[in-house]
C-alpha cells in the first residue's frame, strides 16, 4: 500500500457524500422488510460476500423477523485495486445447498460478474433458488448481462467510484458513515 494515512484522509475529505448515513439506514430497513415478506417461510441460507457485504449484512440480519442460517463466502475481483479483474475465490461456501433457497448479500451491484459467478456456483451445488440483495446498484450500461438487477436493492447511485458502508477505496474506508464518491472518479 503506497497511500499514506494523510492521503487516505484527503480522499475522504474531498469525496462527495452521495447518500447520508440516515438514508442508508432507511434503505437497509426497506430491504429487510422486503426480504422478510418474501423469505420468512422459506428457511433461506444467507451468504454474506466478504469483505464488502460485511457491514450491510451485519445491519440487515437483526432486522429480519424470522430464523435465518447465516454463513459467509469470500470472492473478489478487485484485490484492493480500483478496477476489477478475474474472479478469485478466497473462501468457497461450506454448507448444504441442496434444495435450499440461497440469498447472497453484497455491498454493490456494479457489473454483476461476481454476483453472477457466486449464483452459478450455488445453483451448481443444488440450491433450489438463488436470490441477491445489494445495498447499492450502480447505474450504468456495463452489467454482465442486459437488465441485470438484484432481487433486493437498497439504493441506486450514479456511476462513480464509491466507498463507505462496506465498499472500499484501496482496502480502506469501508467504515465511512455514508456512501461517498471519490473526487474525479
- Kindly report the CATH number assigned to the domain that includes residue 154: 3.40.50.2020
168, three cell numbers:
472500499
Q: Cβ atoms within 10 A of the Cβ of 184, count?
A: 8
Torsion angle, alpha carbons of 16, 173, 93, 142, to 10: 30
133: cell is: 440483495
Domain presence at residue 159: yes
Range of the domain at 75: 19-181
Can you give the pLDDT at residue 2?
58
- Residue 12 maps to a domain: no
The answer to whether position 99 is within a domain reads: yes
Residue 1 lies in a domain: no
What pLDDT, on a 0 to 100 scale, did the predictor assign at position 34? 98
Specify whether the CB–CB gap between 132 and 152 falls below 8 A. yes
- Residue 101 covered by a domain: yes
Question: Is 3 among the domain residues?
Answer: no
Instruction: Report pTM.
Output: 0.91
Instruction: Give the pLDDT score at 119.
Output: 92
- State the cell numbers at 106: 453484497
Question: Hey, which bits of the chain come out as E strands?
Answer: 16-20, 45-50, 69-76, 88-91, 101-109, 129-138, 152-157, 162-163, 178-181
Question: What is the block-wise mean pLDDT of the chain (185 residues), using blocks of 10 residues?
Answer: 84 97 98 98 95 96 96 74 63 88 96 89 95 96 89 97 95 96 91
Residue 11 domain-assigned? no
Q: Which residues contact 25 (CB under 8 A, 6 or more apart)?
A: 59
Integer CA distances (angstroms), 20 to 23, 70, 96, 107, in order: 5, 27, 38, 16
> What per-residue confidence (pLDDT) applies to 78?
57
Question: Number of structural domains, the chain?
Answer: 1
* Cβ pair 15, 182 in contact under 8 A: yes
pLDDT of residue 82: 47
Domain assignment present for 7:
no
Burial (CB < 10 A; 0-12, 13-18, 19+), residue 37, is exposed
Torsion (CA) 178, 183, 184, 185 in degrees, nearest 10: -30
Amino acid at each position: 500500500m503506497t497511500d499514506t494515512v494523510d492521503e487516505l484522509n484527503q480522499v475522504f475529505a474531498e469525496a462527495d457524500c452521495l447518500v447520508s448515513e440516515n438514508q442508508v439506514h432507511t434503505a437497509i430497513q426497506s430491504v429487510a422488510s422486503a426480504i422478510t415478506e418474501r423469505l420468512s417461510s422459506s428457511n433461506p441460507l444467507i451468504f454474506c460476500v466478504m469483505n464488502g457485504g460485511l457491514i450491510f449484512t451485519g445491519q440487515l440480519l437483526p432486522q429480519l423477523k424470522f430464523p435465518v442460517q447465516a454463513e459467509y463466502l469470500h470472492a473478489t475481483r478487485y484485490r484492493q485495486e480500483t478496477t476489477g479483474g478475474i474472479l478469485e475465490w478466497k473462501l468457497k461456501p461450506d454448507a448444504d445447498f441442496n434444495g435450499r433457497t440461497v440469498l447472497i448479500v453484497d455491498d454493490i451491484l456494479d457489473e454483476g460478474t461476481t454476483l453472477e459467478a457466486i449464483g452459478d456456483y450455488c445453483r451448481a451445488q443444488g440450491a433450489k433458488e438463488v436470490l441477491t440483495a445489494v445495498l447499492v446498484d450502480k447505474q450504468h450500461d456495463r452489467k454482465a448481462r442486459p437488465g441485470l438487477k438484484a432481487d433486493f436493492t437498497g439504493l441506486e447511485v450514479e456511476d462513480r467510484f464509491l466507498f463507505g458502508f462496506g465498499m472500499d477505496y484501496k482496502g480502506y474506508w469501508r467504515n465511512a458513515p455514508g456512501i461517498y464518491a471519490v473526487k474525479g472518479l
